[in-house]
A and B are shown apart, each in its own frame.
Chain A
Amino acid sequence: MIWSDAAGDVVRVAAGAILCPLVPGLVQHIKGRLQGRRGPSPLQAYRELARLWSRSMVTPADTGILYRLAPTVVGACLISALLVVPIAGQASGWLVGTDALVLIGLLALARFMPAAASWDTGSGFALMGTSRDLTLSVAVEGLFLAVLILAALPTGTTDLRALSDAAAGGAAWTSPAHWLAALGFALVLLAETGRQPVDNPDTHLELTMIHEGPLLEYAGRDLAYLQWAAAARHWIMLILAVELFLPHPGGLLGGLGATVVTVPLLCVVLALVESWQAKMRLLRVPRLLATGAGLCLVGLVIWFLGITS
């Protein structure tokens, strides 16, 4: 029993680790197509990581241990997060559990370390990006908790396996509260993955970078870790969307099938949203996320008033 659980965990984490660069790769490819070009191949992200792996790293002058430690800690956090998030409702949970709040904590640590590293380098652009990233994360975390509360209403627990089971089938989808939670999570998805209208992932202008800012000083394998971590964040958010906030059939095969079909579909939707939306003015983004929290509040009231569709 424990071997099948552990083997399942290894397969889940390995699949996530290997497949996650496909998500931003696919989004870039579809965006290129929408812009009338051929677009980079979806496998371009792998070629990027391989190229970075073969390059040497850079140490800015007078940096200390936190600069060198940040990429490995971020990588460790995201691999642990891959261990936390169940796929098709399956996870053994014996090492790091499957609690949603643990996931939020790990992502917070993965946000803190590049912030500390950017203070270590003293680079103005890195610090500007860090400042904006951490400020937006305030609103994102509030919205994430609001969405989590709505998802936890049927079961009362924050365990991701239980939440996935509750969202399986059609039972949860009779309540408008769940649809509103899905809308709220769409905003969380955009904010956490750093997509338009919250942030522009393609920008190379230092003054417009938000989450790209702290990455500016890194090169070589450090940068490979950090870019892989960004791809893993995409993967985790999309898996959460499939598991908790989109209709999917229960059971292992049904869940896997739903994942295989829905994740590319969500990549297409992300590419469409990125092409359709312009980047929002930075100080308006918390207002957008607060609107999402307001939607969650409406969902909560609907749930307690017992309104079902």
Chain B
Amino acid sequence: MTPVSAIVLAGSATVAAGGVLAVLRRGLRWGLALQAVGMIAVGVGGAMLVLGAASAGADFTGTAAVTFGLDDLTGFFLAALAVCSVPALIFAMGYVPGTRGAQMVGPLTAAFLLSLVGVLTARSAMGFLVFWELMTLIPATMILAARRESIARKAVFQYLAITHLGGAGVWIALLLLVGQGAFGDPAALQAAGGTMQAIVALTALIGFGTKAGIMPFHTWLPRAHPLAPSHVSALMSGMMIKVAIYGLIRVLFEWLGATPVWLAVLVLALGTLSAVGGVVYALFQHELKRLLAFHSIENVGIIVLGLGASLLFEARGQADWAALAFAAALLHVLNHAVFKGLLFLGAGSIDRAVHGLDLDRLGGLLRRMPWTGGAFLVGSMAIAGLPPFNGFASEWLTLQSLIHVTTGAAPTGASLPPLAAFGLGSALVGFAATIGLAVTAALAVLCFAKVVGLVLLGQPRRQACATANEVPRAMIAGTTILAALCVVLGLFPGVIVPRLMLLAPTAGGASIGGLYDGSAFRLQVPFLASGSLPTLGVGLVLASLVLVLTAVRGSRRAAVAPAWACGQRVEPALRWTSTGFTKSLRLTLETALRTERAVDIEEKGGVIQAVTYHGAVPHLFDTLLYGPIVRGALVLAGFARRLQSGSLRTYVLYLLALIVLLLVVGRIWVAP
């Protein structure tokens, strides 16, 4: 057993021990602390794998045994899992004790973490699917342990139903791969032909896409994430959807054989749709956690854009750029785990302090809760993609890849051929994807300016917000660690990006590692004469200039004056709301969003008695896609209900008929 596998095994055992300890009544906090220690060990093992330790354990096999193994891609995701979960567990030490169902949530958190580790280290189809199912079921149990309302039960049912419906894609894809002997063997599927490749790719996209939250398979995500306890939401949004991305990478990049161009274009299109659709729908949410869930969809879209660019570069034969785009996607996986975890934990702190996350009824929390508020501000600026934080670094790298999809499609040579079809097609795709990402970034700035303003700034809008107190120290520690990581990953992403490029399953990864300048202080595109982002330089220059300008400005201040409202008193009832702030955007996108607006005027004898206004931004995927599917399914179920006559004899007859059918089928198809 190699040192790395020993460390990961020890870590997992410690997490399990922590889970057992958390069952005891006095042992909840110690149990969570032990789980954090175990996850640190798992993360250290993962980091060692990324930094070059040899792979360990079993290879991918198509057998029915449950085997485990470690390689560098698994190691990266294990490290990301540790980075996201350790602060979440520290947060949970202050958050979980005292809540309803705390005795169940503690051990179930350990079980959830172990199921995530299990999916990442599984090396057989059976093991992967077993842990996949566990990973789906355990958060549902935790949600139900913490909440009893019918809304929660309904949402959990929808989450399980949609995840299993879409997740059938995972089962089909993996079992097909096993059937073709291609589970772990890239050449086998190549030999099986284009149709089998297409089926496997599409079912994998649907299956893993449902779990990752790619539009249009995303509809469970905004329902389930807000309901879970905050540290579980952070883990779900931070890591569970990334594990689905891990599965997608395995199938599409490693086992599919040669990448067809249509698949790369489809992945890019899905990524653009998720990114833009996620952030547009996030803008019109009124509840903070639901808004954050939609932003998870957006960021998964950005990750998928990086993966799609990598696939397209592979299809075009540009292996070095494929590795760079892959590294961009992985860097965004890590960054999103950090800042989304931070935002969910911050939302949990705010919920604990003021008992409510309606955006229009918060406010003024930066002054009342400076540590939580400051960390939340850092997380918001990171997710909005503002320099010098980590969101900007990974979006920069993704944008560079997408710009090269467009500009690098030009056929080289002195004279350009009249209709370079391949070049023009991928250039158009790259153009659309780049503009999609730019629009997404600007929309994220709009959304988080709104969130920061409504939650942290201005006057408190409720008595609970005016008297809010800072949360316990464990919760502050969790958010502060992640905020510090946002800054560090924003200033020094160059430390890990060369290693991430080596993780790419394509051939180019090893060759470009040597080209990288090796500087920790900048991000670089190593195969162009220029094109670099000096992250540390930007951060230092901004910080020093702010200090200089503040010193030069001096501190002569006039008396405090009220805000300008045309000379009238500032009315609290006329404060801006979330709806008002996004109205310009809503009106611009009215045709695409199909907003509903109804104004009812009640008149009696020519005098207006009452005016009722109703406005909503419907979730079009629910009304146009899922609504008809659900109604159709209910109609079919109505037909199927007739089969259930209630008579035992009829059921025995069904069983006999099924057995006879199976025997006939076996005779015809299987017999020699």
Contacts and interface: CB of A to CB of B under 8 A. Distances in A.
Given A112-B386, A304-B427, A138 B407 contact: no
A80 B542 contact: yes
Interface in B637-672: none
A123 B588 contact: no
Nearest to A303: B410
B387 A109 contact: yes
A159 to B, nearest CB: 4
Given A72-B546, A122-B459, A217-B564, A135 B449 contact: no
B403 A152 contact: yes
Given A116-B457, A146-B435, A134 B387 contact: no
Nearest to A308: B416
A75 interface: yes
A206 B387 contact: no
Contact of B417 (A99, A296, A300, A306): A306
Interface string B389-409: 000100010011001101111
A222 B404 CA distance: 41
Contacts of B522: 97
A228 to B, nearest CB: 10
Nearest to B417: A306
A234 interface: no
Interface in B409-435: 409-410, 415-420, 423-424, 427-428, 431, 434-435
A118 B454 CA distance: 11
Interface in A70-122: 71-73, 75-77, 79-80, 83, 94-99, 101-102, 105-106, 108-109, 111-112, 115-116, 118-122
A56 interface: yes
B566 interface: yes
Given A60-B563, A221-B553, A115 B386 contact: no
A80 B538 contact: yes
Contact of B418 (A62, A221, A306): A306
B581 interface: yes
A191 to B, nearest CB: 12
A156 interface: yes
A225 B387 contact: no
B537 A95 contact: yes
A105 B449 contact: no
Contacts of A145: 399, 434-435, 437-438
Contacts of A108: 384-386, 441-442, 445
Contacts of B549: 71-72, 75-76, 225
Interface stretch (B144-152, B175-183, B569-577, B602-610): B569-577
Nearest to A57: B557
Contacts, number: 267
B379 to A, nearest CB: 14
Contact of A105 (B386, B448, B452): B386
B172 interface: no
Interface stretch (A29-37, A125-133, A270-278): A125-133
Contacts of B561: 58-61
Interface stretch (B59-67, B195-203, B526-534): B526-534
B546 A76 contact: yes
Contacts of A141: 438-439, 441-442
Nearest to B566: A206
Contacts of B540: 95
Q: Which of B415, B437, B457, B525 counts the most chain A CB atoms within 10 A?
A: B457
A71 B423 CA distance: 46
A149 B442 contact: no
Interface in B495-551: 522, 525, 528-534, 537-538, 540-542, 545-546, 549-550
Given A66-B366, A66-B457, A141-B442, A116 B404 contact: no
B98 interface: no
B562 A75 contact: no
Q: Which of A73, A115, A135 counts the most chain B CB atoms within 10 A?
A: A135
A130 B14 CA distance: 51
A282 to B, nearest CB: 7
Contact of A131 (B381, B452, B582): B582
A112 B447 CA distance: 10
Interface string A195-232: 00000000000100000000011011110010000000
B453 A115 contact: yes
B165 interface: no
B580 interface: yes
B17 to A, nearest CB: 44
B406 A101 contact: no
A124 interface: yes
A57 B435 CA distance: 40
Contact of A121 (B428, B439, B563): B563
A153 B542 contact: no
A157 B529 contact: yes
Contact of B585 (A65, A79, A135, A293): A135
Nearest to B439: A142
Contacts of A157: 525, 528-531
Nearest to B399: A101
Given A61-B562, A108-B385, A300 B530 contact: no
B554 interface: yes
A137 interface: yes
A305 B427 contact: no
A124 B576 contact: yes
A134 B427 contact: no
Given A96-B541, A135-B585, A65 B441 contact: no
A151 to B, nearest CB: 10
B443 interface: yes
B402 to A, nearest CB: 9
Contacts of A269: none
B423 to A, nearest CB: 6
Contact of B531 (A94, A99, A127, A301): A99
Interface string A139-171: 111101110110011011111011000000000
Contacts of A300: 406, 427-428, 431
Contacts of B392: 105
Interface string A177-203: 000000000000000000000000000
A123 B533 contact: no
B129 interface: no
A127 B537 contact: no
Q: Which of A111, A158, A162 counts the most chain B CB atoms within 10 A?
A: A158
A57 B431 CA distance: 46
A249 interface: no
Contacts of B574: 124
Given A101-B396, A149-B431, A65 B366 contact: yes
B286 interface: no
Contacts of A106: 387, 538
A133 B576 CA distance: 16
B556 interface: yes
A97 B532 contact: yes
A60 B562 contact: yes
30 contacts: A56-B558, A59-B557, A60-B560, A60-B564, A75-B545, A76-B541, A76-B542, A76-B545, A80-B541, A80-B545, A98-B530, A99-B532, A99-B533, A106-B387, A108-B445, A130-B449, A130-B581, A135-B588, A137-B446, A138-B442, A138-B443, A138-B585, A141-B438, A141-B439, A142-B442, A148-B403, A153-B407, A286-B588, A293-B435, A297-B431
Given A58-B558, A99-B531, A126-B563, 14 more contacts: A60-B560, A60-B563, A62-B458, A72-B546, A80-B541, A99-B532, A108-B441, A112-B381, A112-B445, A116-B453, A146-B434, A156-B404, A161-B530, A225-B549
Interface of A: 56-62, 64-66, 69, 71-73, 75-77, 79-80, 83, 94-99, 101-102, 105-106, 108-109, 111-112, 115-116, 118-127, 130-132, 134-135, 137-142, 144-146, 148-149, 152-153, 155-159, 161-162, 206, 216-217, 219-222, 225, 282-283, 286, 293, 296-297, 300-301, 303-306
5 smallest CB-CB distances across A and B, nearest first, come from A119-B453, A306-B416, A159-B530, A76-B545, A145-B438
